[in-house]
Chains A and B, each alone.
Chain A
Amino acid sequence: MDLLKELAENLRLGEDEAVRAGTRAALDAGLAPGEILRTGLLAGMAVVGGEFGRREIFLPDVLLAARAMQAGMEVLRPHLARDGAPEAGRVVLGTVQGDLHDIGKNLVGILLRGAGYEVIDLGTDVPAARFLEAAETSGAGVIGLSALLTTTMPRMAEVVSLVRERGLGGRVKVVVGGAPVTQAFADGIGADGWGFDAESAVRRVKALMESV
């Protein structure tokens, strides 16, 4: 099996140490970092995404694969930067102010990284202005907001308003999610997208990134 096929297969199986070693081996063999990313790591994640979509594997398996993807990216990232090969894009992520729940936000971040995005995770209890600062300084195309309480959902509207006030609406899209958040709520506050769950949030981010 060639190096990149083996890399993709080990990623699919969630074998993080094998993926780390395989990525090093591919670099040592002189393969271009962008090629290793596309034909090895992202190809493996695409298979995982397909199996997940067909309900052949489930969230824990996807997280194992995403962890393996991260292991490969840790090796690859410095070479990608040197090579000028772009990652899929940047996303600022966080749980809104007043809320400390982070499992949903973490899962979205992991799946986004697995899909090749650079994620700037601001953590929990994040004020609206910090999301904007991070998006402006990093050049992120999407801000992802999470809330698990009905009391903190209104904070999402503050971020959307700030994006508009600063005239960033054309460049920075806002995706919202969390147990009490609905499509109707997202529409009501003028968000660009709503994720029912982590996987649908990632799909929405991908679609928005392509439109930015």
Chain B
Amino acid sequence: MRRVLLVDPAAVLPTRQQTLVRAGVPADRTPSGRTLDLLEEAISCFLLEADPIGVLEELSYEEFLAVHHDGMPAGGTSVLDVVAPRASRLALFAATVGEPLCARIRTLFAEGNAPLGLFLDALASEAATALAGQVGKALVEERPDPQLAVLAYSPGYCGWPVTGQRALFARLDPGEIGISLGESALMSPVKSVSGVLVAAPAGAHRFRPAFEFCDACTDRTCLERMATLRSPSGPALVKGSTPWTS
């Protein structure tokens, strides 16, 4: 199954709190009035400029294994070596909030309007993450199964090197939705996400973060992800994934 999804910008609009935190305002502090005005201006701009789109392609475990293997260094392991074998369904995906929004952010900084640029950048980054969730939802919506939780795993995280995107792009070919990969494995538009969607019982996503690659990890968002899976009767889609974004 291969699907292209056009997503309403409002469906991936982050909360104000998420955006403020991403823009450097701690969750427990009250932002200034001017900060809140900027946030509202950025939200209006986001709803006008964002053009979210995603593509997903379901594949077998064996096919995924080949893509993953091609993207790994010799002898390397990633968390997917543990998680993917337990998956009920797997799909490669890529999604972007669109080049016009990225161009607008660049222009704001170039014109010296960094305060607004900062908020629009924060919105775009959070929206890209939310977009991965929307694409994950699409994976299971035709055959819903309340026992399955969908999480996105992306190159650049949890032992899967960012160069793994080359094999992923070769298999998925997301040029159809306007995403390309540069020589250094950088996606364009910059506010894009890619990876594999793993639909599996919640327990399948749990692991002990004691891999060799965990030593170099500074954010440990895997713990947040696993925390969202606590309830066995929780939602099929779990937000807060860690796809490759900036």
Contacts and interface: CB of A to CB of B under 8 A. Distances in A.
Interface stretch (B132-140, B179-187, B195-203): B179-187
Contact of B23 (A14, A59, A179): A59
A149 B24 contact: no
B186 A99 contact: yes
A80 interface: no
Contacts of B161: 150
A64 B117 contact: no
B182 A60 contact: no
B25 A149 contact: no
A103 B31 contact: no
B32 interface: yes
Nearest to B190: A100
Interface in A159-212: 179, 182
Nearest to B124: A103
B167 interface: no
Given A59-B23, A98-B186, A149 B32 contact: no
Contacts of B32: 57, 60-61
A107 B184 contact: no
Interface in A118-149: 148-149
Interface in A64-102: 64, 66-67, 70, 98-102
Contacts of A61: 32, 34-35
B29 A60 contact: no
B24 A59 contact: yes
B245 to A, nearest CB: 10
Contacts of A99: 184, 186
A63 B113 CA distance: 9
For the side of the interface on B, what is the size category? 20 to 34
A110 B185 contact: no
Contacts of A55: 26, 29
A67 B25 contact: no
Nearest to B25: A58
A50 to B, nearest CB: 16
A61 B38 CA distance: 10
Main secondary structure of the interface of A (DSSP, over half): loop
Main secondary structure of the interface of B (DSSP, over half): loop
A151 B23 CA distance: 26
A60 B35 contact: yes
Interface in B151-204: 156, 161-163, 182-186, 188, 190
Nearest to A70: B112
Contacts of A152: 184, 186
Nearest to B185: A151
B119 interface: yes
A106 interface: yes
B66 to A, nearest CB: 22
B94 interface: no
Contacts of A14: 34, 115
A98 B184 contact: yes
A203 B32 CA distance: 25
A101 B190 contact: yes
B115 A60 contact: yes
Interface in A33-66: 55, 57-61, 63-64, 66
Given A59-B118, A99-B184, A107-B118, A150 B31 contact: no
A148 B246 CA distance: 8
A60 B23 contact: yes
Contacts of A101: 186, 190, 246
A107 B218 CA distance: 21
A98 B114 CA distance: 24
A102 B109 contact: yes
A150 B73 CA distance: 14
Contacts of B183: 98
Nearest to B106: A102
16 contacts: A14-B34, A55-B29, A58-B23, A60-B32, A60-B38, A60-B119, A64-B115, A100-B188, A101-B190, A102-B106, A103-B105, A103-B109, A149-B184, A150-B162, A151-B162, A182-B218
Interface of A: 14, 55, 57-61, 63-64, 66-67, 70, 98-103, 106-107, 110, 148-152, 179, 182
